[in-house]
A = this chain, B = another copy of it.
Amino acid sequence: MKVRQIIYAAKFEGSPKESDFKIVDEDLGDQLKENEFFYEAIYISCDPYVRLLSDSYIVGKTTIPGYQLAKVLESKNPKFPSDSILVMNVGWRTGGKSDGSDVWYDRTDIPKNVPMSAGVGIFAMTGLTAYYGVNYVLKPKAGDTILVSGSAGAVGTVVGQLAKGMGCRVIGSCGSMEKIKFVKSVGFDDAFNYKTESVAEGLKRLAPKGVDLYFDNVGGSFSSAVLESMNKGGRVACCGAVSSYNSKVPAQAPVIQGTMALNSLSLQGFNIFDDIPAYADEIYVALKQWAGEGKLKQHEYLTSGFESLPSTFIGMLRGKNFGKTIVNM
């Protein structure tokens, strides 16, 4: 089987460039040992954490990390027979050979009334992250006001729908008028444009009773300002800091500890690798139910063709995407 992968060709300095990536061909032969199988990518997920983790990559060697929805072609692994639909943590590659150890989740049972790309969206890391942050960290009750930063992004659009379904007042922040329109269509009560309105003003206008819960996708100065507007005892779910991923020097932001202490705020960081696996099965069951009842939809920004991955990724870091960024093979 012949496949292509995309490797880390040059060190990211600030914003990644297309020349930091390189497509490499690979011939895997056509022999399978016991427990091995060949698979082919259907959808590849494009995620901000690719930027965050880059210090650990080896130039000229590391396959850009990422997960994909893949179909099993030929198999000597009884757990994953042909036509299995799997979420695989194998990086940016068109296909490959596996012994099953890099399978994250079996999604062969993905509901038929949902687009299959949900296998890398609401039914994979994106949905799991949103659900975990909302239900295991923030634990909203009806009537709470929740702010979602990066609300037009992959995780943000799912968080908004979940929180709305739980009876919260859901406020988003995003970077353009078009995105405000978009997140309202997704189900947010309202949103403000952080490029044209300060956090304090936006929240005063849209959350006059203050913010109880904050699902933070961006971090940095934006989040320092949010904390100032939070009600006493407020809780923050921190799933990333995309605002600082592109910084050449460590990004700086106003100190938060004074506000955290004065207002008894709590901040819980979490990530898909360490925190979610133990709950992934029960979360998937819940997500299927939400989707089955029509209360949770996948909103995606789909591009086409393996070779478009670098430009799609770069565009996503610049905020080009509406919803989950996925590349269709």
Contacts and interface: CB of A to CB of B under 8 A. Distances in A.
B269 A263 contact: yes
B243 A255 contact: yes
A274 B264 contact: yes
A256 B223 CA distance: 10
Contacts of A268: 260, 266-267
A241 interface: yes
Nearest to A227: B269
A258 B250 CA distance: 11
Interface of A is mostly: mixed
A258 B241 contact: yes
A84 interface: no
Contacts of A262: 52, 269, 271
Contacts of A219: 255-258
A222 B168 CA distance: 36
B52 A255 contact: no
Contacts of A252: 252-255
A136 to B, nearest CB: 12
Nearest to A269: B260
Interface in A232-268: 232-233, 238-241, 243-245, 250-268
Nearest to A237: B261
B232 A257 contact: no
A35 B268 CA distance: 47
A284 interface: no
A16 to B, nearest CB: 16
B264 A241 contact: no
A190 to B, nearest CB: 24
Contacts of A290: none
B258 A254 contact: no
A245 to B, nearest CB: 7
Contacts of A254: 250-253
B261 A239 contact: yes
A275 interface: yes
The 10 nearest A-B residue pairs measured at CB: A219-B257, A260-B269, A241-B257, A241-B258, A252-B252, A261-B269, A250-B254, A244-B255, A267-B267, A251-B255
7 contacts: A219-B256, A219-B257, A253-B253, A260-B269, A261-B271, A266-B266, A266-B268
Interface of A: 52, 216, 218-220, 223, 232-233, 238-241, 243-245, 250-271, 274-275
